[in-house]
With several copies, the nearest count.
Chain A
Amino acid sequence: MTIPIVPKLLRSHLSDLAERDARIDGRGRWEGRELEVQHSILPRAEGSARVRMGDTIVLAGVKFQIMTPYPDRPNQGGLMCSAEVRPVAGRNWESGPPSPESIELGRVVDRGIRESGCIDVDSLCIIPGEKAWQVILDLFAISDDGNLFDAFALAGITALRNATVPAERFEVGEDYQLSVSKTPIMCSYHRVGGRFVFDATAREELGGDERIHITLGDDNNVHSLQKGLKGIFSADEFTEIMDNAIERTEKLRKIVDEL
């Protein structure tokens, strides 16, 4: 594996490809990489998933803790979503406190899931004002060949949809399946060689510009948007992306729902 060391050459190569409407790995502009989604693969997690998109591989694990509800919301539990990209996942990721990139990763995925309302926080209450479940979704990168955002989001919702509330271990009743009523799906677009493409690889990210993340819910409602990195885009470009995202999320939602 080699990352090009001359980003300027990479950029101009990507521009040349874009002129011919081609991509560095032969895909079409809106084409995603080969996808593999597995669930319930981590023995210590109450819910888990593994997503592989080309050479990008991530894990998601769900754990539960008992929390005291916040005084102003005595009937609600909580959802926390945290992303970690450790040096295992690529030569450019370094150890140390969470980087701005990994903080952004966690927050963007968190928002899409949270805002979709797919988890009913009222249902997480055990004893009002005293005990409630805190659901913790941890996203963990194994191999970063680009577009960790979509891989994390997909692994995250899959892990949640297959999670069991460990009530027995905490001595508060019988285990039951976590209720997840919706399937929010994120699609990410990167500007590469001047135009936006879907599901960029690490090299496209390295030689590209801004990215746009869209999370849509079951009914195509918008739950989360995020533009990342330096870059200027027009309203028309955004409309094209949104239209693609509507189409794409429907397909991915079917895959997750049918697991």
Chain B
Amino acid sequence: MIDENGVRADGRGPGDIRPITIETGVVPVADGSCRMTWGTNEAIVAVYGPMEAHPRKIQRQDRAVLDVAYNMAPFSTTDRMRPGFNRRSREVSKVTQDALESVVLLELYPRSKIRISIEIVSAEAGTRCVGLTAASVALADAGIPMTDLVVSVASGKINDVVVCDLNKEEDNYGEADLPMGIMPNSGELVFLQMDGDLSQDEFKQAWKYNMDAAQEIHKLMVEALNGGDSQ
């Protein structure tokens, strides 16, 4: 999966990310939207709101609530994914919501709701990172004020080597996965998960790769939001 010179099967170096494209306004009926491709991942995110939160019991007197739904379309995976309730999707929705609530200025919209729908229409590895990153672009496209964008990226380990942004083949043999959600201006975190086996030193290397990649991806996000070509 990785040769003696640190070159990966798809030609990337250990710290390199897969190709990314970002486009806004892709769901015409939404208040904000984003289409992000990342390797052969493709996420489409729509933002609706701020709008009235109902039923009333979900309203908060002093702030808006987010309603984040992450979902994988049935044709997004090699084996068809059955529609309907799914523990993994529920959990990814929750961590994504927690991350976004950390940056959206919720107190500007008391008693209202902002709905964020993340649809993975093509899945490779790292869909939760694509979804979270694209969601922060869609929120910006909808004009929702945030303290910062969120860039999400994961590093991992293959063949005992720490590398950034595993693709599907690498992920099949991955020995660890460390996705992070980073505020690119402050370097602070709003999202963190990790599975696998990393020594304390490997952990630090993976952390650094993510931080560096976040700066790179952030540039593409800003370009897309400024109407530039992100390719």
Contacts and interface: CB of A to CB of B under 8 A. Distances in A.
Interface of A: 1, 42-45, 48, 55, 57, 59, 61-63, 65, 82, 84, 86-91, 95, 97-98, 100, 103-104, 107, 111, 115-117, 136, 138, 140, 142-145, 169, 202, 210, 212, 217, 219-235, 238, 242, 246
Interface string B62-104: 0000000101011111111001100100110011001001110
A141 B203 CA distance: 32
Given A88-B117, A95-B69, A136-B80, A223 B195 contact: yes
B94 A91 contact: no
Given A88-B27, A224-B195, A103 B75 contact: no
Contacts of B58: none
Interface in B129-144: none
A232 B77 contact: no
Given A43-B122, A88-B44, A223 B28 contact: no
B197 A217 contact: yes
Given A87-B48, A100-B91, 9 more contacts: A59-B73, A65-B80, A88-B118, A138-B74, A140-B75, A224-B194, A225-B178, A231-B102, A232-B188
A138 B98 contact: no
B172 to A, nearest CB: 11
Which of A98, A221, A238 has the most B CB atoms < 10 Å from its CB? A221
B87 A86 contact: no
B197 A115 contact: yes
Nearest to A63: B80
Contacts of B48: 87, 91
7 tightest A-B CB contacts, nearest first? A61-B75, A225-B194, A88-B117, A55-B28, A63-B80, A230-B101, A45-B75
Contacts of B75: 42, 44-45, 48, 59, 61-63, 138, 140
B193 interface: yes
A230 B189 contact: no
Contacts of B117: 86-88
Given A42-B122, A217-B197, A233-B188, A136 B29 contact: no
B220 interface: no
Interface of B: 26-31, 40, 42, 44-46, 48, 51, 69, 71, 73-80, 83-84, 87, 90-91, 94-95, 98, 101-103, 115, 117-119, 121-123, 178, 183, 186-200, 203, 207
Nearest to A90: B29
A61 B73 contact: yes
B39 to A, nearest CB: 10
Given A225-B178, A230-B98, A235 B189 contact: yes
- Do most interface residues of chain A lie in helix, strand or loop, or is the interface mixed? mixed
Contacts of A98: 83
16 contacts: A1-B28, A44-B122, A44-B123, A57-B27, A87-B46, A91-B51, A98-B83, A100-B91, A100-B94, A116-B197, A136-B80, A142-B27, A223-B195, A223-B196, A226-B194, A227-B189
A212 to B, nearest CB: 7
A86 B87 CA distance: 17
Most central of B69, B183, B188 by chain A CB within 10 Å? B188
B197 A136 contact: no
B19 to A, nearest CB: 13
Given A44-B78, A115-B196, A1 B29 contact: yes
Nearest to A106: B87
Contact of A225 (B103, B122, B186, B193): B193
A43 B30 CA distance: 25
Contacts of B45: 88
A61 B119 CA distance: 14
Given A44-B78, A107-B91, A234-B188, A57 B200 contact: no
A212 B192 contact: yes
A136 B190 CA distance: 33
Nearest to A216: B200
A206 to B, nearest CB: 12
Q: Count chain B CB atoms within 10 A of each CB in A87, A97, A144 and give the residue with the most.
A: A87
A75 to B, nearest CB: 18
A222 B194 contact: yes
Contacts of B191: 227
Contacts of B77: 44
A140 B74 CA distance: 9
Contacts of A91: 29-30, 48, 51, 115
